[in-house]
Amino acid sequence: MRIRAVIVLMSILAVFAVSGLCAAGSNVVINGSTTVLPIGQKSAELFMKGNQDVNISVSGGGSGNGIKAIIDGTCDIAMSSRFVKDKEIKLACEKGVYLVPHRVAIDCIVPVVHPSNPLNDIDLNTLKGIYTGNVTNWKALGGSDKPIVVISRDTSSGTYEVWQEKVLLKERVMPRALLQASNGAVAQAVAGNPYAIGYVGIGYLNPHLKGLTVNGVVASPATALNGTFPISRALFMFTNGWPEGPAMSYLNYLLSPAGQKMVETEGFVPLY
Amino acid sequence: MKETSIEVPLVETANLADHAADTNGPGLGDAWTGRGGHRRRSRESAIRMIFLLTALFSITALGLILFFLFREGVPIFKVVSLKDFLLGRDWYPTDDPAAFGIFPLIVGSIAVITVSCIGAIPLAVLTAIFIAEIAGPRMKEFLKPVVELLASLPSVVIGFIGMVVVAPFLQRTFDIPTGLNLLNASIMLAIMTIPTICSISEDAMYAVPRELREASLALGATQWETIFRVVLPASLSGIATAVILGISRAIGETMVVLMVAGGAAIVPTSLMDPVRPMPASIAAEMGEAPFQSEHYHALFAIAIVLFLITFAFNMIADQISHKYKQVGSATL
């Protein structure tokens, strides 16, 4: 008796699994950068509201993970806060995957200090001095006689790569810098330390942080778009070949005026 | 106490009889259990098969993980020599050319563990002594679950407390540039390991036969003498195992060190220096490392080093628990 019950149960489950697989035709799996994650999540929610038959699952894990996933075929769209690297392109070609980049938003990276810090503006050269360990005291910047606590993202993060390229001019961040694993951790560390300096994506600015102007330019969508704010980057979604079906309509939505409006409300800079 | 000591052998003999019925030749088994014997034997062997398969499955899975770990980690040594990898002072895995020196990470890990042990071991063992030997039954009923509750605190919660409560406190109290440092990480790791060490040590002390204590007290020893000269030595193997299990847990602990250790890949020169232990590097960087790049292989190589260190610790624990094993009252 019991065995028969188990068999019945199994066959019911099997039917469900098969129907689940059939429905998978309109499944879109998105994976990758935690910087792009808020955009991916919010746009997926909004898109699914208008397209009940499409199921989009979004997860973060880093740009590298996302690109690995799309090369392995375990996701349909990879979010990335950087462009794809040579090594990854080579790997993709070997597996017959042709990566197509879609620029979905722009991100400003803003240097931040504790709100009690009197500093308002900083120039790129001083920032470089601080991050390479040549400027070590707030006194040199007209502040109190206290050591500067330098907070940076991990050297492997996409945000750091942009920072290294645009601020450090390819030099290394000093080893003493406190490396944090996420934008949120940097914000937390700077908010809790009056002598700290860090940098976060513009979406992570909050009242507990004071964003600095760089060379007199305030970070904003306008200054990022016209190129006057010096530290900004494009955020990408990669597909394998030109997207089709639900992935295509999802990306179309994200790049539509409504999608770009959402990008702006999430704290990023829209493309137009 | 007296009741259980009578019951236990009874139960054991009953089990033995069962066992005999199952494993002896068919004649005896059938004679014992009649027609049910055959059915029972096949059920027993089915159960044995299930256990065997489960065990094989876990061992295979572990073996495959190990194989994978080495397969993904070893290729880094084509790029950097073992000596430069272990003793190099610079960890810049994404630079061009990259620097793969994990010496500061190893030192960071060991420093954090050492400092947290200095705090955790005495506290944990003394707490265990209190719970096992001194506290009254009601106190014990209260303390034991509290300690176990502490063990179940998720590490991300402990890390968060370290980040938002302990770090600013350290910073103000010691007037240091940052509270995210070696000391903070050690404190939080100690908080994580104390319950593990305490709970296992307490079990070990509880398992010390009552007659040992009675004999000691009967010889005129005080309670203190009994605890330190009899109970502690008798449970030494259990305590040592507890300590080393606690340490290996702390070495592999990722979330806490990721959140509160500061993350600077330097060789620390004081308790207030930020450090970057090995698990923190792996956790922070794996998501961003391009698949099968040098950086990816280097992170797996760090994982191998981490594995070898915890493995060594567990081997030591095994050795110690065998060496000091208390097999009966007479071996003390």
The per-residue pLDDT for range B37-75, each reduced to its tens digit, is 788 888 999 999 999 999 999 999 999 999 999 999 999
> What pLDDT, in 10s, does the model give residues B158-202?
999 999 899 999 998 998 888 899 999 999 999 999 999 999 999
Q: Read off the pTM.
A: 0.77
State the pLDDT at residue B13. Answer: 42
How many other CB atoms are found less than 10 A from the CB of residue B300?
21
CA A208 – CA B134 distance, rounded (Å): 49
Eight-class DSSP state of B274 = -
At B65-116, the pLDDT tens digits run 999 999 999 999 998 999 999 999 999 888 878 899 999 999 999 999 999 9
How far apart CA B180 and CA A135 sit, in angstroms, is 21
Is B203 buried (19+), middle (13-18) or exposed (0-12) by CB count in 10 A?
middle
* Token code pair at residue B195: 């319950």
Share of chain A above pLDDT 70, in %: 91
Burial class (CB in 10 A: 0-12, 13-18, 19+), B99: middle
Instruction: Show Cβ contacts of residue B41 under 8 Å, excluding neighbours closer than 6 positions.
Output: B22, B29
In sequence order, what are the residues at sequence separation of 6 or more whose Cβ sits closer than 8 angstroms to the Cβ of residue A123? A214, A215
The answer to whether the CB atoms of B93 and A156 lie below 8 A apart is yes
How far apart CA B20 and CA B291 sit, in angstroms, is 56
**Which amino acid appears at position A151 of this protein?**
I
Closest Cα to residue B234, out of B199, B216, B208? B208
Per-residue model confidence as pLDDT tens digits over B241-291:
899 888 888 888 888 998 999 889 899 999 999 999 999 999 888 877 877
- Residue A192 is nearest to which of B167, B259, B287, comparing CB atoms? B167
Residues of A within 8 A of B296 (CB-CB) are 64
pLDDT for the residue numbered B8: 40
pLDDT band of A10, cuts 50, 70, 90:
low
Mutate to test the interface with B, among A156, A172, A238 (most CBs of B within 10 A): A156
C-beta atoms surrounding B6 within 10 Å: 8
The pLDDT-based confidence of A17 (bands split at 50, 70, 90) is low
Task: Judge whether B292 and B271 are in contact, CB under 8 Å.
Answer: no
When pLDDT is averaged across residues A194-221 and rounded to a whole number, the result is: 90
Q: In which residue are the tokens 């990023």 written?
A: A268
Q: Which residues of A touch B (CB under 8 A)?
A: 34, 61-65, 67-68, 71, 85, 87-88, 91, 146-147, 149, 154-158, 160-161, 172, 175-181, 185, 188-189, 192-193, 195-196
> Between chains, do A85 and B290 touch, taking CB under 8 Å as contact?
yes
Q: Is the ipTM of this complex over 0.85?
A: no
Residue A201 confidence (pLDDT) = 87
Task: Name the DSSP class of B291.
Answer: T
User: What pLDDT, on the 0 to 100 scale, is given for residue B17?
Assistant: 44
Average pLDDT over residues A136-158: 88
Q: What is the pLDDT of residue B330?
A: 52
- The predicted structure's pLDDT at residue B97: 81
Mean pLDDT score of chain A: 87
In which residue are the tokens 């955790």 written? B120
pLDDT single digits (tens) B2-43: 334 434 444 444 444 444 444 444 444 444 555 667 888 889
